[in-house]
């Protein structure tokens, strides 16, 4: 069964450093998403991406964040200058149309 | 932001009995609702969904009920199995392809 994959599973970085989180969505899906879950809190929407552009973004997704689909398979989330409060699980998701979104296993980002 | 709420942080059920997980929402613009199951150190796994034009959707042991007037949905699992033990999230979509999640309910099914 096709699944969303994410790398790395755990990323440790120092405050102020740039990080890139990578995702490979399900191959025939058209919509791509990033969510995050800070420890003990809800899963929060960050951004959705369709047809090579951002379709929706939340207030969390400020100028420090960017997304890219550099080739036909990868979908990346870049955080330019990480802060302590960026520490969270980051989940990539994809969907064929609107509706059911399928999530990857997540990347745990730890900012020290 | 409490647009989607799951008021029970945990639920314990005996194997073979029914599990009922509840979810309330406040935003009347939500038109699609989903339930996800999550194990530790894994991503949410899609279980079942329902459109706002329906009041019930069934898939095997899982049934979701939607009461639009009460802005309430519930997930019924019958019969419950120990492998169902996980955290269950409800989520809502307002056609913007951005899911709003509840806080989750930890279900424990005892053998």
- The reply to whether omega before A25 is within 30° of 0 (cis) is no
Contacts of A40 (CB under 8 A, 6+ apart): none
Judged against a pLDDT cut of 80, whether residue B96 lies above it is answered with: no
The torsion angles phi and psi of A111, rounded to 5 degrees, stand at: -105, 125
Contact B38, B44 (CB under 8 A): yes
Judged against a pLDDT cut of 90, whether residue B2 lies above it is answered with: no
Confidence of residue B97 (pLDDT cuts 50, 70, 90): confident
Confidence of residue B1 (pLDDT cuts 50, 70, 90): low
Q: So what's the pLDDT on residue A73? A: 86
- Containing H/E element for B3? none
Q: Which residues of chain A does B36 touch, with a Cβ-Cβ cutoff of 8 Å?
A: 103
- Could you tell me how far CA A48 lies from the centroid of its own chain? 9
B104 sits in the region (left: phi over 0; alpha: psi -120 to 50; else beta) called left
Q: So what's the pLDDT on residue A72? A: 77
Contact B91, B3 (CB under 8 A): no
Q: Do B99 and A102 touch (CB under 8 A)?
A: no
The torsion angles phi and psi of B109, rounded to 5 degrees, stand at: -105, 115
pLDDT tens, position by position, for chain A (112 residues)? 789 999 999 999 999 999 999 999 999 999 999 999 999 899 999 999 999 999 999 999 999 999 999 887 899 999 999 999 999 999 999 999 878 999 999 999 999 9
Mutate to test the interface with B, among A42, A53, A108 (most CBs of B within 10 A): A42
Q: Do B97 and A43 touch (CB under 8 A)?
A: no
- CA nearest B95 in A: which residue? A98
Q: Which residues of chain B does A101 touch, with a Cβ-Cβ cutoff of 8 Å?
A: 34, 46, 97, 99
């Amino acid at each position: 069964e096709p699944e969303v994959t994410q790398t790395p599973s755990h990323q440790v970085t120092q405050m102020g450093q740039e990080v890139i989180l990578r995702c490979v969505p399900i191959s025939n899906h058209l919509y791509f998403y990033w969510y995050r879950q800070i420890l003990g809190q809800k899963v929060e929407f960050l951004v959705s991406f369709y047809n090579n552009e951002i379709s929706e973004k939340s207030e969390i997704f400020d100028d420090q964040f960017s997304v890219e689909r550099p080739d036909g398979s990868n979908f990346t989330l870049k955080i330019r200058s990480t802060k302590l409060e960026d520490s969270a699980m980051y989940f990539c998701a994809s969907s064929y149309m609107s509706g059911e979104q399928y999530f990857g296993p997540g990347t745990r980002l730890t900012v020290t | 932001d409490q647009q989607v709420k799951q008021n029970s942080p945990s639920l314990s059920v005996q194997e073979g009995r029914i599990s009922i997980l509840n979810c309330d929402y406040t935003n009347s613009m939500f038109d699609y609702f989903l339930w996800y199951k999550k194990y530790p150190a894994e991503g949410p796994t899609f279980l079942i969904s329902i459109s706002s034009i329906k009041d019930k959707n069934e898939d095997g042991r899982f049934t979701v009920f939607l009461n639009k007037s009460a802005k309430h949905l519930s997930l019924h699992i019958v019969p419950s199995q120990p492998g169902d033990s996980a955290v269950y999230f409800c989520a809502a979509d307002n056609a913007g392809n951005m899911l709003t999640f509840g806080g989750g309910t930890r279900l424990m099914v005892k053998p």
